[in-house]
Amino acid sequence: MEVLSLLLNKSKVSKTIKKFKVNKMKKIIKYAFLTIISLSILVIGYFFSKCNNINIDENLENSSGINNLNSKVFDQAFIMFDSAKVRTDFEIFEKEDDTVNFNFDVHKSPNSENIYSMTFNSGDGFSGVNVHILKYRNFSYTSIESYNDNKSMFDFLKFDRYTLKKQKLTLNKSQYKKGDSIFGKIELQIKFNPTDSIFTSKGYFRSIIE
């Protein structure tokens, strides 16, 4: 009887320990799930706090700003684009002539019907600047970065040359599919950090959704 009693008690203890471990695991999973949900909400909230509503102008395709792109030519530094059609006259620093320093391309996400990536690029093959626009539905998020192929161990101490202060994006329509023509206007307020100067940078653009 004593042996049987010991076995029963041992079985009860084992079940209690097992139940405790299961409950503990459930709590860990629950807290992990809540943490992931909370972080996701924070990330989404941060994204939309930095986003702007996109303006729609259905007549943009026929505007003088878009038509003027036909008279623009690439700067001599962009000899690689000589035979290409000018897609944008966007400039960070205002220019007085008809040469352009930026090229433009736009890609539709293969994984979503609502995400598009637009890039304005200016560079000499070694250094330059990229302006990225992420379009999601009727919202846009713009970022700007300078780059340089000459890397050094102290690069992490350097501040970026540009800081984006304000952004405004106008498109000819709200939704596109691959192969569609896109026409737009970008207006940015950019701080040039080396001199603390504020510039109003703007330009028209056109392309085909890739």
Same domain (yes/no): 43, 125 = no
∠ CA 196-202-203 to the nearest 5 degrees? Answer: 150
What pLDDT score does 85 carry?
A: 83
Confidence of residue 83 (pLDDT cuts 50, 70, 90): low
Mean pLDDT, all residues of the chain: 82
Q: Which residue has the higher pLDDT, 155 or 19?
A: 19
In whole angstroms, give the CA distance from residue 91 to residue 87. 12
Same-domain check for residues 43 and 127: no
**Within this chain, do residues 190 and 109 fall inside the same structural domain, yes or no?**
yes
Q: Do 97 and 163 have their domain in common?
A: yes
pLDDT tens by residue, 3-51: 445 445 556 656 666 666 667 777 777 777 777 776 766 655 555 556 7
Q: Are residues 107 and 150 in the same domain?
A: yes
Tell me: do 22 and 91 sit in the same domain.
no
Q: How many domains does the chain have?
A: 2
Co-location of 3 and 86 in the same domain: no
pLDDT grade for 108, boundaries at 50, 70 and 90:
very high
Choosing from 34, 49, 64, the residue where a domain stops is: 49
For residues 62 and 127, membership in a common domain is answered with yes
What's the pLDDT score for residue 29? Answer: 79
* Shared-domain flag, residues 11 and 60: no
Highest mean pLDDT, choosing among 18-22, 77-81, 199-203: 199-203
Residues 58 and 30 in one domain: no
Distance CA 133, CA 188 (A): 11
Do residues 66 and 143 share a domain? yes
Same domain for 80 and 38: no
Instruction: Quote the domain boundaries for residue 43.
Output: 1-49
Q: What Å distances lie between residue 30 and 24, 27, 104, CA to CA?
A: 10, 5, 46
